[in-house]
Amino acid sequence: MKTIIVVGGSKGIGNATVASLLSSHKVINISRSQPEQSHENLTHHQCDIINDELPDISEADGLVYCPGSINLKPINRLSLEDFKNDFEINVLGAVKTIQKYLAVLKNGKQPSIVLFSTVASKLGMPFHASVAASKSAIEGLTKSLGAELAPTIRVNAIAPTVTDTDLASKLLRNERMIENMTDRHPLKKYLQPEEVADMVVFLLSHKAAALSGQIFEMDCGIVSFKL
């Protein structure tokens, strides 16, 4: 049974990922709050990924870094502090985590790292300057580390469109916004966290053994198609 470290597994996509893994993996969750579920395969470490020292972990076969931000403002209302905060959450937190557990992962069984970008890194979208900048850095990090750590550790990223989580609740806060968001996507849907979790589980598995340095656009067609 593989052991997977999930950072930010108490909410949203991270929580769905933990739920998807628990029946067949040991999961070590690192987050500020306790996950809703409890399971014999789940270990929780309460930790602020930015400010606290990460817990020591003796073995792991995979790492999923889920923390993110959606800070949508016009460029003239985005402060340098906004950019710094988004970069810290999205990029530096991931780097800190990877550096902490790299040696452990190298000793793991077919180890894999999964990070998160956003469709806004490919599709120019108003008010997304800060989040797109930080998530674009994640895409560069994914490709660079994928090359550096091959063939030992695979590194991939998922770039989801709007996903029905607390983080995106302001974008889906009423029926009209939900309808507009659905219509914007060529597949006439947006994502559920369980769909993204399924992709995470796949990328961690031996079925994805040929994949590294890739950015997977889970975009419901919004980046890929123009209809």
Q: Quick check: 158 and 167 in contact, CB under 8 A?
A: no
pLDDT at 169 over 80: no
d(CA 20, CA 66): 14
Q: Is residue 60 a part of any domain in this protein?
A: yes
Q: How far apart are CA 113 and CA 96, in angstroms?
A: 13
pLDDT per residue as tens digits for the range 22-39: 999 999 999 999 888 889
What is the token pair recorded at 218? 């889970």
Residue 180 included in any domain: no
The verdict on residue 179 lying in a domain is no
Within a 10 A sphere around the Cβ of 54, how many other Cβ atoms?
Answer: 17
In a domain, residue 170? The reply is: no
Indicate the pTM of the whole model: 0.94
- Over 90: is that where the pLDDT of 189 sits? yes
Q: What is the dihedral of CA 160, 164, 168, 173, to 10 degrees?
A: 140
Nearest to 195 by CA among 163, 155, 167: 163
Residue 98 DSSP code:
H
* Alpha helices (runs of H) in 66-110, residue ranges in sequence order: 80-87, 93-106
In a domain, 210, yes or no: yes
Please give the angle made by the CA atoms of 216, 60 and 68, to the nearest 5 degrees.
Answer: 45
| pLDDT for 96 | 98
Question: Residue 153: what pLDDT?
Answer: 98
Three-state DSSP class for residue 71: coil
223 within a domain of the structure (yes/no): no
Is the Cα dihedral 83, 86, 89, 92 positive or negative?
A: negative
225 lies in a domain?
no
Residue 71 confidence (pLDDT) above 90: no
pLDDT band of 150, cuts 50, 70, 90 = very high
Q: Strand order in 215-218's β-sheet?
A: 42-46, 26-31, 3-7, 62-65, 112-116, 154-160, 215-218
Please report, for the domain that includes residue 29, its CATH number: 3.40.50.720
pLDDT > 90 fraction of the chain, expressed in percent and rounded? 85
Q: Collapse the DSSP code of 225 into the 3-class scheme (helix H, G, I; strand E, B; otherwise coil) and give the result.
A: coil
Q: Is residue 177 part of a domain?
A: no
**DSSP summary character for residue 130:** H
pLDDT value of position 224: 87
**pLDDT tens digits for 94-145?**
999 999 999 999 999 999 999 999 999 998 989 999 999 999 999 999 999 9
DSSP state of 91: I
The pLDDT confidence band at residue 70, using thresholds 50, 70 and 90, is: confident
Domain that residue 35 falls in: 3-165+192-218
Other beta carbons within 10 Å of 101: 24
Number of domains in the chain: 1
